[in-house]
């Protein structure tokens, strides 16, 4: 039976939201998935825009190839927490990064459920 462990993002400090500093690839580090292929991370991502203008956000999901690895979303101002990724799976040390149209105004929050094949 698999063991499920809730985790904060590897790019987070104490579970706090991660400020998206990058404005181009390679983006700000959000999370590095578990190494290997027998275990996996189920990732939940949310975004908040603290700016007075809507901002485009790009999530680099395991790579930087367009369009294969990119998730693009316009995050509206004062819209609260927007669900971007709802439990998608990643493994083998692949990395999730993010960049936005403007630095330091979009934050990423969420959590990881790590499934260990025990």
The domain in which residue 11 lies consists of 3-116
CATH number, residue 94? 2.60.120
Residue written as token pair 């959000």: 30
Q: What pLDDT, on a 0 to 100 scale, did the predictor assign at position 117? A: 81
> Whole-number mean pLDDT of the chain?
95
Q: What pLDDT, on a 0 to 100 scale, did the predictor assign at position 118? A: 67
pLDDT tier at 109, thresholds 50, 70, 90: very high
Residue written as token pair 């189920």: 42
Q: What pLDDT, on a 0 to 100 scale, did the predictor assign at position 66? A: 87
**Model confidence over 40-89: pLDDT tens digits?**
999 999 999 999 999 999 999 999 988 899 999 999 998 889 999 999 99
Strand 82-90 versus strand 40-49 pairing type: antiparallel
Total structural domains in the chain?
1
DSSP 3: E
Bond preceding residue 67 cis, omega within 30 of 0 = yes
């Amino acid at each position: 039976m698999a063991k499920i462990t809730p985790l904060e993002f590897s790019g987070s400090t104490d579970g706090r939201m991660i400020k998206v500093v990058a404005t181009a690839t390679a983006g700000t580090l959000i999370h590095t998935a578990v190494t290997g292929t027998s275990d996996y991370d189920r990732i939940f991502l949310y975004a908040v825009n603290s700016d007075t203008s809507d901002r485009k956000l790009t999530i680099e999901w395991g790579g930087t190839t367009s369009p294969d690895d990119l998730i693009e979303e316009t995050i509206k101002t004062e819209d609260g927490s927007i669900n971007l990724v709802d439990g998608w799976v990643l493994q083998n040390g692949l990395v999730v990064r993010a960049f936005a149209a403007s630095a330091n105004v979009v934050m990423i929050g969420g959590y990881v459920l790590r499934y260990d094949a025990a």
